[in-house]
């Protein structure tokens, strides 16, 4: 705990930015090229919601480990233009108090490429829900005295499904498939069932299968570190092995930012 800071403050107070890969000047120049980050008053003479006299470019912090980088992202509520670096990667927040990080990489030949935008908290902490069953929990349906499942019965059913998944064996005589053993995509996951809002608006209770994926953040950062310039530019920086291992998770939490660049390049190629 550091005096004057919250107990969970992730940064080391007073740490100087002394990256061997980046200078503040080149990172600032890259921000000024970005429509979300640029100081429009300086360039265009028009109003900007986040002028640099309130939201400085000069908020650079070098993380020494992947775990430190992860803690910084998870703390959240960072100002626009907050920049974290780790080795030759840089991440700059594009939404004030948000979680959309422009991703840049410095290559051995000196080129600095901005190529991706990543929603980091969702990448680190994420769940995927798969709808399993819907129930109507009303005692009567369409005015008819037709009894359907009660909420507490749905809850018990979800709990039984949870045990079924984790133990891989039938519970309470329920005819439930052995999902863990039958579906290889769950090999790298833990999971649970829970009761939530129904998928069908005519019904009241839904049971969802919630995948809690293993933490792929360290491996994801390693993929970025290993990627070549061309792989980053083409957004093909993850290996086939990584994509197979996390095929149900990783692509859903990464947003593309260079589609416009690709379109322009395609037009240039066609004109050539």
Please report the DSSP string for 174-187 in residue order: -----HHHH-GGGT
Q: Regarding predicted confidence, which is higher, 153 or 247?
A: 153
Instruction: For residues 78 and 76, give the distance between their C-alpha atoms in angstroms, rounded to a whole number.
Output: 6
Q: What is the pLDDT of residue 157?
A: 79
Q: Are 194 and 158 in contact (CB under 8 A)?
A: yes
Range with lowest mean pLDDT among 59-68, 166-175, 240-249 = 166-175
Average pLDDT over residues 60-84: 94
Is pLDDT larger for residue 206 or for residue 253? 206
**How many whole angstroms separate alpha carbon 224 and alpha carbon 254?**
13
Q: How confident is the model at residue 173 (pLDDT cuts 50, 70, 90)?
A: very low
End-to-end Cα distance, the chain: 60
Q: What is the pLDDT of residue 252?
A: 47
Percent of the chain with pLDDT over 70: 68
Centroid of chain to Cα 82: 17
pLDDT at 203 over 90: no
User: How many Cβ atoms are within 10 Å of 187's Cβ, its own excluded?
Assistant: 10
Where on the phi/psi map is residue 148: left (φ > 0), alpha (ψ -120 to 50), or beta?
Answer: beta
Residue 116 CA to residue 123 CA, distance in Å, equals 13
With residue 84 as reference, give the H or E element that holds it.
strand 83-86
User: Which tens digits make up the pLDDT trace of 216-244?
Assistant: 889 899 999 999 999 999 999 988 888 77
pLDDT at 260 over 70: no
At residue 255, the pLDDT reads: 45
CA-angle at 207, arms to 201 and 211, nearest 5°: 120
Asked if residue 136 lies in contact with residue 202, where contact means CB atoms within 8 angstroms, the answer is: yes
Cβ pair 10, 72 in contact under 8 A: yes
Closest Cα to residue 132, out of 106, 110, 112, 161? 161
Sequence length of the chain is 272
249-259 per-position pLDDT tens digit: 544 445 444 44
Q: Is the pLDDT of residue 38 over 70?
A: yes
- In this structure, the strands spanning 189-197 and 101-106 are unpaired
Q: Where are the alpha helices (DSSP H) in the chain?
A: 24-32, 40-44, 66-75, 120-124, 151-167, 179-182, 217-226, 229-233, 240-245, 259-271
Grade residue 177 by pLDDT with cuts at 50, 70 and 90: very low
Q: In DSSP terms, which residues pair with 118 in a beta bridge?
A: 101, 254
Q: Given this model, what pLDDT does residue 243 score?
A: 79
Tell me the average pLDDT of the chain. 77
List the structure tokens of 68.
Answer: 């430190």
């Amino acid at each position: 705990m550091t005096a004057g800071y919250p107990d969970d403050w992730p940064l080391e107070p007073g740490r100087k930015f002394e990256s061997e890969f980046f200078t503040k000047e080149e990172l600032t120049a890259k921000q000024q090229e970005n429509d979300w980050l640029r100081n429009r008053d300086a360039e265009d003479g028009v109003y900007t919601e986040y002028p640099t006299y309130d939201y400085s470019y000069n908020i650079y912090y070098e993380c020494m480990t992947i775990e430190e980088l992860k803690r910084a992202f998870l703390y959240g509520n960072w100002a626009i233009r907050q920049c974290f670096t780790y080795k030759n990667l840089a991440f700059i927040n594009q939404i004030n108090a948000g979680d959309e990080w422009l991703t840049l990489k410095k290559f051995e030949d000196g080129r600095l490429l901005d190529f991706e935008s990543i929603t980091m908290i969702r990448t680190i902490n994420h769940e995927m829900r798969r709808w399993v069953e819907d129930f109507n929990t009303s005692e009567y349906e369409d005015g008819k005295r037709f009894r359907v499942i009660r909420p507490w019965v749905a809850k018990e059913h979800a709990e039984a499904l949870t045990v079924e998944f984790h133990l891989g064996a039938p519970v309470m005589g329920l005819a439930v498939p052995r999902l863990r053993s039958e579906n290889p995509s769950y090999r790298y996951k833990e999971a649970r069932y829970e009761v939530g809002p129904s998928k069908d608006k005519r019904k009241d209770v839904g049971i969802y299968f919630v995948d809690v994926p293993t933490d792929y953040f360290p491996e994801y950062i390693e993929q970025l570190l290993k990627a070549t310039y061309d792989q980053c530019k083409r957004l093909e920086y993850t290996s086939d092995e990584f994509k197979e291992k996390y095929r149900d998770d990783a692509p859903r939490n990464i947003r593309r930012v260079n589609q416009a660049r690709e379109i322009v390049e395609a037009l240039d190629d066609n004109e050539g």
